[in-house]
């Protein structure tokens, strides 16, 4: 038995405290130890070229909203305005029926290329990454939709079939115990190029933007995960880099099955990246009086956990200090749900990339708030 204040005793106390806090984290809602670091805005972040930031906590009569109940009413209005702008997509969505095209083992992960019905009559491919079970593991596992970046390799990189290690986000998360689904974005689904993909989408859905299609397909990715018996439907997350980060933002805002998400370098502000491209939101957002903005989507996510990874001021960065004003506009809504707020931005300052250090933070965030 260990007695007294010996070095060994103190060591065991520290170890017990660490592991106790980890265990309590999953049971009682503790937070990543660096939460304060990513929820504190820099002094005087740049506020130029943000577009219109309609106040979130002011109702139609001009009264200030101070309660959750008041926000719930405003939230529905904001959500409906966004869905009207994005345009309709087919409902009800088809039942999930997976056709397995290929199965292979990658270290501790089974990787399957699957085919399923996205829109009615329109089939999509994706990679399903499932950790190999071990005797010490508790099932079901948490699930993550991993949304790929802009690359002609599409799902191959995020699923670890090809490409640099830094982009193999889905495979690396599967190795950490998540069931991960990587759906192919419609821009690389039976199309000659991005504009051809948009033209085909608009032929089917002339009133719907490209972002409406991306959101719909990401929601179908969640449908796939929750259809699997080995996945805990109450612990679903989303992650993406660049284009995939844009999709992760919209998915977290509009699908409440997403409990935690990380968006790496998507560009939160409209003018920080190419949000006006036809495959995203189109030219309407260039108008300084356009009434919608992404602070509203950040507010729709509350109180679920959402982390932005930014690379400013490294090369090609889309997120960083200039993204903070949008978070600051959304944070009063988050505070209606109590403290701490789990909306943050980690600026790793390494450009438009996923550095090894920022991936670790991404994984820690998802492990804390999903596992």
Q: ω before 56 within 30° of 0 (cis)?
A: no
pLDDT at 29: 59
- Say how many CA atoms lie within 13 Å of 158 toward its Cβ: 31
Give the pLDDT band of residue 1 (cuts 50, 70, 90).
very low
pLDDT reading at 282 higher than 80: yes
Give the pLDDT band of residue 234 (cuts 50, 70, 90).
very high
Work out the average pLDDT over 296-300: 98
At 191, list the tokens.
Answer: 């199309």
Q: Which pTM was predicted?
A: 0.92
Give the pLDDT band of residue 367 (cuts 50, 70, 90).
very high
The H or E element containing residue 203 is helix 194-204
Q: Taking a C-beta distance cutoff of 8 angstroms, is the pair 133, 149 a contact?
A: no
CB atoms within 10 A of CB 311: 24
At 81, list the tokens.
Answer: 């305005």
State percent of the chain over pLDDT 70.
Answer: 92
Q: Taking a C-beta distance cutoff of 8 angstroms, is the pair 302, 75 a contact?
A: no
Cα distance between the two ends of the chain: 33
pLDDT at 25: 35
pLDDT reading at 7 higher than 90: no
pLDDT at 20: 33
pLDDT at 17: 34
Q: What are the tens digits of pLDDT across the range 41-63? A: 999 999 988 999 999 999 999 99
| Domain regions of the chain by residue span | 1-30, 34-370
CATH no. for 34-370 = 3.40.50.1820
CA dihedral 248, 251, 256, 257 (to 10 degrees): -70
Give the pLDDT band of residue 4 (cuts 50, 70, 90).
very low
Q: What are the tens digits of pLDDT across the range 118-146? A: 999 999 999 999 999 886 677 899 999 99
Q: Taking a C-beta distance cutoff of 8 angstroms, is the pair 325, 50 a contact?
A: yes
pLDDT at 139: 85
User: Tokens 């991404």, residue?
Assistant: 362
Mean pLDDT of the chain: 92
The H or E element containing residue 200 is helix 194-204
Q: What are the tens digits of pLDDT across the range 71-115? A: 999 999 999 999 999 999 999 999 999 999 999 999 999 999 999
Q: Taking a C-beta distance cutoff of 8 angstroms, is the pair 124, 96 a contact?
A: no
Work out the average pLDDT over 4-14: 33
Give the pLDDT band of residue 3 (cuts 50, 70, 90).
very low
Q: What are the tens digits of pLDDT across the range 12-24? A: 333 333 333 333 3
pLDDT reading at 280 higher than 90: yes
Q: What are the tens digits of pLDDT across the range 166-212? A: 999 999 999 999 999 999 999 999 999 999 999 999 999 999 999 99
Please give the Cα distance from 10 to 49 (Å, whole number): 54
pLDDT at 23: 30
């Amino acid at each position: 038995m260990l007695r007294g204040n010996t070095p060994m005793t103190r060591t065991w106390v520290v170890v017990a405290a660490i592991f106790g806090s980890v265990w309590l984290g999953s049971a009682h809602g503790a937070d990543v130890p660096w939460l304060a670091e990513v929820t504190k805005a820099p002094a005087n972040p740049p506020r130029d070229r943000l577009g219109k930031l309609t106040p979130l906590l002011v109702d139609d009569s001009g009264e200030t909203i101070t309660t959750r109940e008041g926000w719930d009413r405003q939230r529905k209005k904001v959500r409906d305005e966004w869905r009207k702008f994005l345009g309709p997509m087919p409902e009800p969505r088809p039942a999930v029926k997976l056709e397995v095209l290929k199965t292979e083992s990658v270290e501790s992960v089974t990787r399957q290329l699957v085919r399923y019905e996205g829109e009615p009559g329109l089939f999509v491919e994706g990679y399903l990454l499932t950790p190999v079970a071990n005797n010490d593991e508790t099932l079901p596992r948490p699930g993550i939709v991993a949304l790929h970046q802009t690359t002609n390799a599409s799902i191959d990189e995020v699923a670890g079939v090809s490409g640099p290690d830094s982009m193999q986000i889905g495979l690396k998360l599967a190795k950490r115990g998540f069931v991960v689904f990587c759906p192919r974005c419609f821009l690389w689904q039976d199309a000659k190029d991005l504009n051809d993909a948009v033209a085909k989408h608009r032929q089917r859905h002339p009133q719907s933007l490209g972002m409406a299609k991306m959101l719909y397909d990401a929601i179908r990715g969640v449908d796939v995960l929750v259809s699997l018996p080995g996945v805990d439907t109450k612990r679903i997350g989303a992650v993406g880099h660049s284009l995939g980060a844009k999709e992760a933002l919209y998915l977290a805002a509009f699908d409440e099955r997403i409990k935690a998400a990380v968006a790496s370098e998507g560009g939160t502000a409209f003018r920080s990246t190419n949000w006006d491209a036809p495959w995203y939101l189109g030219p309407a957002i260039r108008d300084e009086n356009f009434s919608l903005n992404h602070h509203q989507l950040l507010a729709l996510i509350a109180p679920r956990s959402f982390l932005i990874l930014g690379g400013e001021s490294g090369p090609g960065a889309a997120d960083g200090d200039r993204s903070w004003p949008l978070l600051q506009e959304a944070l009063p809504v988050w505070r209606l749900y109590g403290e701490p707020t789990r909306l943050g931005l980690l600026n790793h300052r390494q450009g438009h990339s996923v550095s090894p250090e920022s991936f670790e933070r991404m994984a820690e965030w998802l492990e804390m708030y999903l596992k």
